[in-house]
Structure 1
Amino acid sequence: MEHSKGRRLILFALPLQGHIVPMLELANLLHFKGFSITVVSTQFNKLNPSSYPHLTFDFIDEGLTESEASTNDLVHLISLLNEKCAQPFKECLVNLLSDVSKEPVACLITDLRFHFTQPLAKSFNLPRLLLRTGGASSLVVYIAFPHLHEKGYLPKQDSRLEEPVKGFPPLKVRDLPNIHTKDPEQYFQMVAGRLRDETEASQGLIINTFEDIEGKALIRIRDEFPVPIFGVGPFHKPFPTTTSSGPGSSVSLPQDQSCISWLNTQAPKSVIYAGFGSLAAISEEQFLELAWGLANSNQPFLWVVRPGFVQGAEWLEALPNGFLEALNGRGHIVKWAPQKAVLAHPAVGAFWTHCGWNSTLECICEGVPMICMPCSADQMMNARYISDVWKVGLQLDHGKERGGIVKTIRKLMVEKEGKEIRNNMSDLTKKADLCFKPGGSSYECLEGLVKHICSLDSIVLQTQIEAAVNPSNGLHV
């Protein structure tokens, strides 16, 4: 679309792996549609510009201390980032908006969790679109938090975990989103207190999903909000899978390409790929159950064990002496892997996953069935949809002990139920293949998003520079 040329977009992601990756994938999409892109990055989980030569980067120092940056309390971390990013991001915006040597800025796209950017964008007369990096179905539940709290579903009670959630089939209470935090009330307020107001105050909401998997949820969201809703995912789908660094790479760990060479030696559809994201942490006891479950399944496996994944251990110290040697090459363990390339490899037959939304979409795009081991947030919901709605994976219904793990792996890899799941996944993958073709839902939504962004120019172009540099408005820095 030629009318997008000569327009610049500013993108600002929450600096966590699961949020940075889709933001960069969206940046690729919008750059492909003709926009110039400036990505703002914090020093915390700082991005490497050399991996994205087609994008421009601007860096801010949010000033997190070492202890703040290493916290395991995500709710507290997100609260800190909203507090500490406010002033440096304002200064960054002043510089970007007043730089007449670059294209005029059409809008700001920020993560849904960066609530501090709403009043800031308003003060600059800068249109602001929100990015939802998770799915639409889980967003519907987040929106309903006050209702779920009123009905007694939240906070979750052990005695009600297996109870169906009325109005949200097929969810059970155990599937409702939850984050382990020292301040549950702060989590509730972060979701229930700000989500609706933030969305209604924006100029639109972009969601990394597509109609064929979440059409009903997208309808509910459009009914809830008066702003345009764009389901333009999977963001990474239009671009070829490669083994190079890029949006799928970790912000802190190098990808170990040895796993691709190892996969090249394995039979088609034989390998269990196990990886549980960038944040999950488990006990040494649970780690050993996972290890023996993989070993006793008699299937070859590629396992990503991130440093810090095992509580109290640097890496693989908890494994018994000789564990890997005894497998005679049937197992390969790395610290981080090029996940998209791994899932696209013909040797991979299943993904044992934490069910993060990025991983879920990547599996659907590559046609890889899943074994679900959700940990927190929306992962429990994603797992329920994987197993009970789309029927493209299995939950660990037999438990996380080694015997239950073996039963689940074998059910998926060698039994009749596994064949049905693979057929279901094949059908869903075909739908993902079509969504960005002309006439597909994501193709049409992306076209609509581009037109919508270009229509916002009249709001911002006349006033953004004056708002940035005029001391009388109180924003001059």
Structure 2
Amino acid sequence: MDCVCIEAHTFLQIPSLSVDLALQQPRSIGKSRWAMAGQEHRCRRIVLFPLPFQGHISPMLQLAELLHARGLAVTVLHTGFNAPDATRHPELTFVPIHESSFPDEVTSLGTDIVTQLLALNAACEAPFREALASLLRGGQDVACAVVDGQCYSALRAAHRLGVPALVLRTDSAATFSSMLAYPRLRDAGFVPVKEERLDEPVPDLERLRARDLIRVDGSDTDALCGFIARVADAVRASASGVVINTFERMEASELAKIQRELSRPAFAVGPLHLLSQAPAEQSLHAPDRGCLAWLDDHPPRSVLYVSLGSVACVDRGAFVEMAWGLARSGVSFLWVVRPGLVGGVPEVPPLPDGFSEEVRNRGKIVSWAPQREVLAHAATAAFWTHCGWNSTLESVCEGVPMLVQPCFADQMVNARYVTHEWGVGLEVGEEIERGRVAMAVTKLMTGEDAAQMRGRAYHLKILASAATSLPIDSLIHYISSL
């Protein structure tokens, strides 16, 4: 079967009414009552600890702004490595945890992500515990800690200090649900997945095939399984609840499954970038804003935006095939070719010989783009993405269909939901070959199913726009009850 085709599938029928989640009442609170509640919470402090990577820092600071807007004092503990820019958030308090120098496994470009996360957890546990203990000794009324969902060591440390702790999942509810299932799948012999079982449905995760489970090609399988087990075990043993950057009407069944699995509340507080007034966090790359003027010169829904995010990389061969596939497609495109996009090449990779002449004025190459503005632009028709959750959610919120090329980790789960659950995208295929790329791009942009995908994407956009901050209000009430 052609790898770019969608299987016959009945796509998710988004319910017109959201599913009530336990412990997320009340649903509406009068303005005057919230003024009183703000005074009541004014002296209480929430301590946040993000994972020090761009896709994790931004959602955490967006959540911080929402909590602060409701009268809570917010302290952000952070590492010196990839430290957030405190000047962009003057209303928040930033305190470094004073970790000793991170080992090379944490900071080196191209380090295996599983090795990186294990080393980071080991390096952060003691300095995080001491920083939090120092706040407590200083008489701070710490109501709760919110730690990144990958920071299992910080979650354990907060629990041992007697501080109620929640985890912020910066991935989807579907991804987190699959992580909770991972240890029992391993016990049942389903993972590590054997080649002949790749297309089997996953027990208790019927929307996923085995090939859609979290994986990191090239990583040690036992190390990956061990990391996921530590995350799941820490949540079960030490978390008072889960906060997820998603919205209920898109992932209601996955949220309900998480609550049943943990017997703890799961708060769908997203889309955080829409609900929060926080400025976009300083990017590791300076965006080329000239691309917006370039988009201005194109008709509505005529440009394909291509970006594989800030971390994912491909080999040189796949990069060349992506380029010539775009050239063959005949569509206009805006392509982010950033430093490190090709594995082992820390600088911006060179384009194939003759490519620029072939595409002429039809394509624009930038080293980084202001992504939210690009996705919101009238000229943008579709998004070729690695399916990181922030990118996926931003595309959903703008009603932009997707061409998915997942590279590792949660991107596999997200890609499956984009293409087969929500029906707002196509797969580029596991083998990146120029003819298949051109076919997939053409099908997404102008194929017979393109209008239906745009319609489903627009419906999700409407649902995302209707998401409210009521889960944040319920979260604050829940924290007050701990």
Question: Shorter-chain TM-score: which interval?
Answer: 0.7 to 0.9
Unaligned runs of 5+ in 2: 1-33
Which of 236, 258, 261 pairs up with 1:224? 261
- The CA deviation at 1:37 is 1.7
Partners of 1:9 and 1:106 within 8 A in 2: yes
Greater displacement, 29-38 / 351-360: 29-38
Q: For each residue in 1:92-146, what CA deviation from the matched residue of structure 2 results, as whole angstroms up to 9, or x when unmatched?
A: 223333445xx63221110122122234223432211111111111211111113
Amino acid at match of 2:435: G
Q: How does 1:100-249 map to 2 (within 5 A)?
A: 100=139, 104-180=141-217, 182-239=219-276, 246-247=280-281, 249=282
- Inter-partner Cα distance in structure 2 for 1:315 and 1:89: 34
> 1:444 maps to what in 2?
470
Q: How does 1:5-404 map to 2 (within 5 A)?
A: 5-62=42-99, 63-66=101-104, 68-70=106-108, 71-100=110-139, 104-180=141-217, 182-239=219-276, 246-247=280-281, 249-250=282-283, 252-397=284-429, 399-404=431-436
Greater displacement, 316-325 / 368-377: 316-325
Which of 418, 431, 445 pairs up with 2:463? 431
- Inter-partner Cα distance in structure 1 for 2:422 and 2:413: 12
Shift in CA distance, 352/455, structure 1 to aligned 2, threshold 3 Å: same
- Inter-partner Cα distance in structure 2 for 1:240 and 1:124: 32
- Inter-partner Cα distance in structure 2 for 1:362 and 1:208: 11
- The CA deviation at 1:291 is 0.8
- Inter-partner Cα distance in structure 2 for 1:367 and 1:422: 7
- The CA deviation at 1:236 is 1.2
Shift in CA distance, 407/342, structure 1 to aligned 2, threshold 3 Å: same
Q: For each residue in 1:248-304, what CA deviation from the matched residue of structure 2 results, as whole angstroms up to 9, or x when unmatched?
A: x42x22222222222222221111111112221111111011111112212111111
Q: TM-score, normalised by structure 1?
A: 0.87
- Inter-partner Cα distance in structure 1 for 2:357 and 2:104: 38
Partners of 2:43 and 2:141 within 8 A in 1: yes
Shift in CA distance, 55/265, structure 1 to aligned 2, threshold 3 Å: farther
Q: For each residue in 1:183-216, what CA deviation from the matched residue of structure 2 results, as whole angstroms up to 9, or x when unmatched?
A: 3212212212441442342221101111211111
Q: Report the number of matched residues.
A: 443
- Inter-partner Cα distance in structure 2 for 1:41 and 1:331: 40
- Inter-partner Cα distance in structure 1 for 2:195 and 2:313: 22
- Inter-partner Cα distance in structure 1 for 2:360 and 2:218: 42
Partners of 2:406 and 2:415 within 8 A in 1: yes
Q: For each residue in 1:13-51, what CA deviation from the matched residue of structure 2 results, as whole angstroms up to 9, or x when unmatched?
A: 111222222112211221222222221221222222222
- Inter-partner Cα distance in structure 2 for 1:327 and 1:316: 19
- Inter-partner Cα distance in structure 2 for 1:314 and 1:192: 32
SS at match of 1:236: helix
Greater displacement, 301-310 / 385-394: 301-310
- Inter-partner Cα distance in structure 2 for 1:296 and 1:58: 51
Taking only aligned residues, the RMSD between alpha carbons, in angstroms, comes to: 2.1
SS at match of 2:361: coil
SS at match of 2:387: coil
Shift in CA distance, 240/301, structure 1 to aligned 2, threshold 3 Å: farther
SS at match of 1:280: coil
Shift in CA distance, 189/28, structure 1 to aligned 2, threshold 3 Å: same
Q: For each residue in 1:319-354, what CA deviation from the matched residue of structure 2 results, as whole angstroms up to 9, or x when unmatched?
A: 134532442322112222221111111111100001
> 1:439 maps to what in 2?
none
Amino acid at match of 1:167: D
Shift in CA distance, 320/182, structure 1 to aligned 2, threshold 3 Å: closer
Amino acid at match of 2:107: A
Q: For each residue in 1:416-448, what CA deviation from the matched residue of structure 2 results, as whole angstroms up to 9, or x when unmatched?
A: 201100001111111111121xxxxxx332221
Unaligned runs of 5+ in 1: 437-442, 457-477
Q: TM-score, normalised by structure 2?
A: 0.87
- Inter-partner Cα distance in structure 1 for 2:308 and 2:345: 16
- Inter-partner Cα distance in structure 1 for 2:142 and 2:223: 34
- Inter-partner Cα distance in structure 2 for 1:160 and 1:44: 40
- The CA deviation at 1:61 is 3.6
Partners of 2:323 and 2:355 within 8 A in 1: no
- Inter-partner Cα distance in structure 2 for 1:377 and 1:172: 15
Greater displacement, 395-404 / 348-357: 395-404
